[in-house]
Chain A
């Protein structure tokens, strides 16, 4: 899945000449945490975050009169003075996995998506990423999560998927926990059905162990001494 499929494209962009007052209003109105900054041609030149805006604000500990006075001054400044120039960006051909890793590594809240010429194409925020993963996990569709413990050897998932196919059941997602236990993996198929009885029976007949997720939770929790 590429970022172009999940990024936000109905963009509100500002220029370095935009006043802080204007930017503040745009952010509050659209409930944005990031605003991309572009030049007159639409090429990305920076990004401004709600944190940059807060840093530029006078201290909330000031008395009301001096706060207002300083605020009036601050809001006349331009975005060019506080924006992060040359921010970290991604290209449209980047995958969801890429952005997940970059966001984690660089500790940023949003990544502008720019093409080879530097034009802004969209923005991918952590919120967009979360939405993408809700979609990938299929958890907004009705279904049932099974928790299956299998031996660490090839071909296990196939047997599980075969059983689901035999029962004419679609898969919403399959998550695999790799470091479960020595020589064991835990497989979590999210089945888009209410009808799990015959699938469970077939899995048990093949010798798979159906995990009690709460038992696992209790085993993993720190023990009270």
Chain B
């Protein structure tokens, strides 16, 4: 059994969204309380986060976009580019620290200090486009992580598996012409759910054709459909790609209790996701994986799902 790293920083709570916003600091507090209550925290190797150097942000995001976001926070504007993207003066620094936490987790895994790591970070990242904030996301944490793996550690092929209930439009678009990053996403069908992308026919462009795979799930559907689609869509494409490193966009909002979505995944259903993914990770990268928190908005169920996810990582 390997060691599992864990990224959390009190400063992640400083990104304050408006009252009643689902992507709130309480999400992380709930996760920390849940992990402590489950007795898991002591068995995790704490990894200290540091703000990411801007040059890593620039591997994915346009410099003008980065500056515009920093300015919006400095001016104390209530939101950035859309009313969904609620911000405060500390949001920019918190977003840098979220990316930095992911990069530190990658360092720890690549230097064999830990086998794998979970990053309890916010703001989330998978909706963030190269030059646009969307869906509560500002910097694309996993996308930057993939570039970091390639440029800092000369990793060639990175696979990003995204099981947030919303399609990771940002991640898909950032890599849609890139055959060195395979993006797989399973999410609620785009005709019903935000952001309206992630249909089966979106498979990448030019050199990236075939390096994007989407499994849309119709609302009301749950465990059986997830099992079926993961087995038929993810498993063979993952094996064919044969990644050197794996990153997870871990969203816990497909659960039946989470009002953010119409899918009905059960708590046990999340174990199907965990088991399928970690089996693949175990046989391809020897259990090395960095999992990054995206969504998950039901404060009762979120900590439980995160704890179950981490337990499976610890068993790798």
Listed in ascending order, the chain A residues whose CB lies under 8 Å from chain B are 139-145, 147, 168-169, 193-198, 200-201, 212-215, 217
Contact = CB atoms under 8 A, between A and B. Distances in A.
Interface stretch (B68-76, B192-200, B307-315): B192-200
Nearest to A201: B259
A145 B191 CA distance: 7
A142 B196 contact: yes
A144 B83 contact: no
Interface string B174-217: 00000000000000000111111100000000000000000000
A214 B218 contact: yes
B192 A213 contact: yes
B239 interface: no
B60 interface: no
B169 A214 contact: no
A142 B135 contact: yes
A168 B79 CA distance: 12
Nearest to B83: A168
B83 A197 contact: no
Looking at B191, B196, B220, which has the most chain A CB atoms within 10 Å of its CB?
B196
Contact of B221 (A147, A168, A214): A214
B135 A194 contact: yes
Looking at B82, B134, B262, B297, which has the most chain A CB atoms within 10 Å of its CB?
B262
Nearest to A190: B196
Contact of B22 (A139, A168, A195): A195
Looking at A141, A169, A197, which has the most chain B CB atoms within 10 Å of its CB?
A197
Question: Chain B interface secondary structure, helix, strand, loop or mixed?
Answer: loop
Given A142-B195, A144-B193, A147-B192, 9 more contacts: A139-B196, A145-B191, A193-B194, A194-B127, A194-B166, A194-B260, A197-B297, A213-B219, A213-B220
B83 to A, nearest CB: 5
Interface of B: 20-22, 82-84, 127, 134-136, 166, 169, 191-197, 218-221, 259-260, 262, 297
Given A140-B196, A143-B196, A212-B219, A196 B260 contact: yes
B196 to A, nearest CB: 5
Contacts of A200: 259
A155 B194 CA distance: 27
Given A197-B22, A197-B260, A215 B220 contact: yes
Nearest to A217: B218
A169 B83 contact: yes
Contacts of A141: 196
B83 A193 contact: yes
Contact of A143 (B21, B195, B259, B260): B195
Contacts of B166: 194
Contacts of B84: 193-195
Contacts of B169: 142
19 contacts: A142-B127, A142-B135, A142-B169, A142-B194, A147-B192, A193-B194, A194-B84, A195-B84, A195-B136, A196-B194, A196-B259, A197-B259, A200-B259, A201-B259, A212-B262, A213-B219, A213-B220, A213-B262, A215-B220
Contacts of B221: 214
A200 B298 CA distance: 14
A215 B264 CA distance: 13
Contacts of B192: 144-145, 147, 213
A135 to B, nearest CB: 13
Contacts of A144: 192-194
B74 to A, nearest CB: 23
A140 B218 CA distance: 19
A168 B136 CA distance: 15
Given A145-B191, A193-B194, A198 B220 contact: no
Closest 8 interchain pairs by CB? A142-B195, A214-B220, A194-B194, A194-B135, A212-B220, A197-B259, A144-B194, A145-B192
Nearest to B21: A195
